[in-house]
Chains A and B, each alone.
Chain A
Amino acid sequence: MKPKPPKYALRFLRWFCRNDYLEEIEGNLLELFEQQYTASPKKAQKQFVWNVLRHFRPAFIRSFKLFQPSNHRAMLHYNFILAFRNFQRYKSSFFINLIGLSSGLACALLIFLWVQDELSVDKFHANDERLYRVMEKGYSSEGIYTSFETRGPMADFLREEMPQVEYVAAVGPVSWPGYDRLTLSIDEKNVKAAGQYVGKDYFNIFSYELLIGSKDQVLADKNSIVLSEELAMRLFDSAQDAVGKSVEFQQEREFIVSGIFKGTPARSSVQFDFVMTFEALKDEKPWVDSWGGGGPLVFATLREGTNVEYFNDKLEATLKERFGDDINRVAFLERYSDHYLYGIYEIGVRVGGRIEYVRLFSVVAIIILLIASINFVNLTTARASRRLKEIGIKKVVGSGRKELIFQYIGESVLISFFSLMVAILLVALALPTFNEITGKQLALGFDHTLIVSALTIAFSTGVVAGLYPALYLSGLRSINILKGKLNMSSGSVWARKGLVVFQFTLSIILMVSVWVVHRQIAFVQNQHLGYDKDNVIYFPITGRLNGNEETFLTEMKKIPGVLNASSTGHRIVGHNWSVGNIEWEGKTPDDETGFEVITANYDLLETLGVEIIEGRSFSRNFGNDTTKIIFNETAIEAMGLTSPIGTTVEFYGEKEIIGVVKDFHFESFHEELKPMCFVMQASINRMVAKLQAGREKEALAGLQTLYSNYNPGFVLDYQFLDDDYQALYVAEQRVSTLSEYFAALAILISCLGLFGLAAFTAERRLKEIGIRKALGASVVNIVGLLTGDFTKMVVVAIGIALPIGYFLTQHWLQNFAFHIDLQWWYFAGVGLLALLIAWLTIGLQTVKAAQVNPIECLRDE
C-alpha cells in the first residue's frame, strides 16, 4: 500500500492552490513525501504539512471569486437561448402558460391594488394614531347593542370631564338623510352639494387641508360655512373671492364663508363639499343638544401617550358618576380609521366588517395564482419527456443538479416575467371596468410599493411554478434517460393528477360560492318586502314648499300618473330614527327595547303599500291623528300587548294605538326585523309619491311643472326609493359581480391547463390510437378511452369541492338574518356544469385525435 500524506494538508492545498500549478506542486510534494516516508514516516508527514504551508503564498493562491464569471455568463446566455428555443418549439404550451399566468397575475395585481386601497382608507389623517370615534354600547331587552352614533352633549362632556381629550367635535354627519344633496344658493345660482355640521375643532381633529382660514378660527362663528375648493369654484368662480361672502343655505338661512378646504381625498370614507357649525344645527334641531336624542357622531383626539383602554374604563366610571350606576348605555372610544374595515359589532364585540372582503379577495387572488401555477407545473412535467435527452446530455457533460434546478426555475421565472408584462397591460385595460364595479378610483401608479410587490408576486409565482419540475427533472438518473429506459414513475403521474384535482376543486368551490351569492342576492331583490318600493319617488321639501305642503300634496295627487302621495320625515329604507323612550303599561323598568320611528303624513302607508292587519291607518276622517301611533307586529310582540288597539303608550305625550301593520323589511336583510312604529308629525321634510308603472315620464314631467310653480328656476331633485334599497346591498352586489368574474377566470385557467394536458396525452398516445383503430376501434371508443382519465379526475374534484363549498356558503349565509336555504340542485348543477366544461375542453382534442387516419400515424415506422 502506498503511504498516504496527511489528508487535511492535501485538501487544503487543493483548495487554495491555483489550478495551473496544482498538479506540479502536488506531484513534487508527493514525490518528496514518498522518498522521505521510507526513512521516517512521521518526519515525512510533518515535512509534507510544512511544505504545503510554505506554498500558501500569493504566487500560488487562486483567485477567490464567488462565481467563475466567464463560464457562468456563458451558461446564462446559453440557457436563455435554450429557453427561447423551447418557447418557440412548443408554442401551444408556451401560450397556455403565458395566458394562464398573465391572467392570474393580472387578477392578483388588481386585487392587490384594491386591497391596498381598502387598507389605506382614512389612514391619511395626521393624528390617525390618536383619532377616535365615540361609540355607544347599550343594554336592551334583546341583548347588547353597539351604536356608532352618540348624543350631542357627549362632546362637551368629554371636553370638560376628561383631561386626556385633546380636541373633540360633534358632527351632524353627511350620512343623515338628504345631507348629501343640500342646496346652496347665491342670487339665482343653485348648487347641490353634500354637507355636514361639525364642531369647532373639526379641522384640528381631521386633516382635511385648509387652503384659506385657520384651523382654530374657521368654525368659531355660529354662522360660518367652510367650502371645498371645488364648491367655491362652482359658486363663486374663485376660491379667493368666496371668503367673507354670504351663501344662502336651503333657501332658509344665510351663512358666511369663513374658509376654504381642499376637498376630501378619495381615501376618506366620508365625502362632503362643505361644513357648517354644529351650533347652527342646534338652532335647527334642538334635540341634538339633549342626552335623549341619539344621532350625532362625536370624534376626538386623545393626548399623546394616552392608553385608550384605560381611557375607556375611566370614561365609563365618569359617566356612572354623573348619571348614576344604573345607566343602560356607556360610551367608549374606537380608533377612527378602524371603523371602515371593522365596522360590524355583535353583542358589543367587534366581529369584522369590510376586512372580511379584503381577506376573501386576498384568498381568491392566491387561489387563482395557484391554479395558474399548477398549469405550469403540469405542462412542464408532462412535456419533460421531450427534454429528457437535453437533461441527460447536460448531466453527462458535467452539469450538476444545482445548475439544472437553476435552469428550470430560471425558465419559469422568465415566463412569469413575460406574463407580468402582459398582465400589466391587461390591468391597464381592465382598470376602468374594475373601478366601476368596485366604486373606487384606483390607478396604476408605478410607485415604489407597486413595483416591488408586482416583481415579488411574479418572482415567487415563477419559483413556485418552477420548483417541482426543477426538482423532479434534475433528479432523474442520466443513464436511464439516455438509455431510454425511463418510465415515468407512477408517483409523478399521481402528483400530476393530484394537482389537476386540486385545481378543479378550487375552481368548483369558487363556482359554488358564486352561485349561492348570486341566488341570495336575487332572493333579496325579489323578496316581497311587505311594502312596494317600485316606482316610489321622494324629494325634499324645499323653498316655498315649506308651509304649503298640504296644497302641494293635493295638487300633486291630481297629476296624471301619480297614484298617491304623502310626506315623511324619514327615508324609510335603512336606518331611520331609533328611540328607547316609548313607555307602555306593563313595561318593566329595565326594558330598553329600541324602536325605529318613521314620521308619517296621511296616506303614507297607502303610498308605500304597507299592509294593515288590525285597526286602521292614519286618516283625515277621524279628526286629529297626531296623538295616534301605529306599530308593526314585532313591536306589539315585544311590548307583550294582547289587544293593542285602543291602548295608549307614552311617547312625547300620550299616544293611542290605532293600528298594527304587517312586518315589512325597511332595513337590509342582514338585520332582524326590528320593532317600529309610525307617528303622525308635522315636522316632515320629504315628499313621497307613488307613480303609475309605465307612466313615470308623464308623471315626472307633471311634477316638475308643479314644483316650478312653487320654486321657479329649480329642478325637482327626486330619487327612487328602489335605488336607496339597492344601496343597502351595494357591498354584496360588488362582491357578487367581482366573484363572478374571478370564478369565471379560475375555471377558464383550469380548463386551459386541462386543454394542454389533453392535447399532450392525445399526442403521446397517437400510435396507440392508430393501432386500436386499425384493429377496429370506433371513434366513440377512442374518445371514451381518452376522456375517461380526465373525467375521473374532475369527478373526484367535484366530490371534494361540493362538501367544502356547502360548508363555506352555509357559513356565509349566516350573515343574513333572512336567507335562502341551500338546495341540493345548486350543487348538482354546479358539479354537472364543471364536468360539462371539462368535457368540452378535452372533447375538442380527443375527437380530433380519434379521427386520425391510422395510416398517417403508423406510417413512419
Chain B
Amino acid sequence: MLSPLRITLICVVTLTQAVACQLTDGSVARGGPVAMRRLTADQYRHAIVDSFGEDIEIVGRFEPDNRRAGLVAVGSAWVTVTPSGFEQYEAMGNNIARQVVSEAHRDRFVRCTPRSMSEPDAECAEAFLREIGPRLLRRPLEDADVGPRIDAAAAATELMGDFYAGLELIVTSLLVAPDFLFRIEVAEPDPTDPSRLVLSDLTLASRLSYLLWNAGPDAMLLQAAERGELSNDEGLARQVDRMLASARLEAGVRAFFEDVFRFDAFDDLGKDPIRYPAFSSEVARDAREQTLRVVVDHLISKQGDYRDLFTTRRSFMTRKLGPVYAVAVASEHDWEAMEFSPGDPRAGILTHASFNMLNSHPGRSSATLRGVFVREALLCQTVPPAPADVDFGLFNEDTNPKYKTARDRLGVHASNATCRNCHRLTDPIGLGLEVFDGVGRYRTTENGAPIDTSGELDGVAFANNVELGRVFRDSPLVGACLVENLYRYAVGRDPVNSERRLMRDLEAKFESSDYRLDALLRGIVLSRGFRTATRPQEEPPSTESEDATQSVASGPSTRETI
C-alpha cells in the first residue's frame, strides 16, 4: 500500500520529471499486488465444459471455498489445496480423463490416427496435448509442458497396451497442474515506463474472461493476448466489446451476484420440515434461480438501472415456487415471466424468497440476520460482532408469551445500550421484512399479533416493506457498494490506497451511466488499476478491518443469534 509518505518520496526521487510526479500523485491509479487465485467450483466446471463439452460428467466433491471480507473471489486469493482437497481434484481429473478418451468422445479431440492402437505414437500424443493444453492452462504450451507428458504417455501406453491410456494420463496431468487449479497472475515492467508494472497480456486475458464470463479465455482472446493486442487501448477495447456482447456475459454476471448474495449458502440450507412443510431442496434451488433470473433479465436483457432491482415487480415463477408465493403457475416445468401487481407485498429482490429463507434460522425468521446481510453485502458496511460477555439473562424475557412479534422481542434488546448500538443498524431493515417468514412466505401476523414493517433506513422513514425497497434504492451507498464489490471481485483483493480515487471515478461513471452494469464493467476493465500492478504480496495485509464482515460471512460457527 502507498502511504502519503511514500507518494511524497516518489515525487522527490522523480523531482526532475514533474509529469511523472503528478501522475504518481493519485490522478492515475496503480493497481495492487497480483494474485494467485484458486479456481472456484463453477470456474472448474466451466473449464471442463469449454474444453471437453457439456456431456463430460464431473464426479466428486470440491474443496469448499473460503469467503474473505464478504467475497469468495477475495478468499480465492488466499486458499490453498489441502491433502484431502488434492485427493478430490485428482480423482475428479482422472474420471474426466477417462471419459475424454473413451470411445464415445475421443474423436472430438484426437484429430490424428495413432500408428497403432497399442503402441506409443509421440506425434499424435503431442498433437492431442497441443489441442487441449492451451485452453486448460490459459496460455500457450512451453517445451517443459510437453516433453515430460509425452514421455509419460508413452510409458502408460506400453504398460496398458493402449494408446489412449497415454492420452488419459495427459488429460489428468493437466487437470491436477498447479497452473490449471490456480490462476497465477504475472506482472512485468511497463515497456513505456519500466519503473511500473503492468499485467502480462495473458494475465490480463484471464482477468478479463473470469470477470466477464467466469471462465478462462477463449481461443480468440488467447490469440489477441499472444499477439500483444491487449497492451494497447484499442485492442483491449475491441476484445471487451466482443466479450460484453457475448451470451457468456450472463455466466459472469450470475457468478458475481451469487458471490455478493452469498448464495453458496444454499448448498447447506435446511429448514424444519414440520414448521416449513413448503420447503424442499427444489424450492430452495428455484428460489435461488428466481433471483438470478431477475438480475440477468434486468441488468443484461433490459440494461436497467442497478438500483431498480430493489423495486422491480417483474419476476419469474415455477410451479415449485407457487406455494411459497401463493400464486398459481400454469406450466408444470417451465419458468414463467410474471409481474407482481402494484398492491402486492412483493417488490424488489429483497422481498424474494431467496434472501429471506437464506437469512433465517431453520425454524424461524431473523430480522437481525437479514439486517446484517443487507448492511454488509449490499451496503458494504461493517456490523461489529456481538460482544462475548453480554448478560443474556436480561433478555430471557424473550420467551415470555406477551412478546408476540419479532419487533416486541427485539425491543427488549433495544433497552440495553451495549446491544442497541449494533441492533439499531440491523434490526429496522430486518423488521421491515418480517412479513416474510423463515422460508419467505408472506404473512401479516405472528402469534396472532399484526406485524408492523415500518421503520427507517439511515434517517429516511418507510411505512412498510414495499417502501423499504424504494428507500433502499435511493440510498447513495447502494451504487457505491456495487462498484466496490465488483472491483474487489475483479482483482481478488481490497482496493489499495492508490486505487481510492479510481473508486470514486468509477462511482461517478456508474452514476452518469444511470447505473448500468455494462458501463461499470467497461469502466473497470479499461482502468489503470485493473491493468497495472505492484510486486506480489510479500506479507499478508492486516485483515482487522475485515473481521466484522466475516463474522457473518464465514458461516454458521460465527453467526450471532437473535
Q: Do A and B bind each other?
A: no
**Interface positions of B (Cβ within 8 A of A):** none
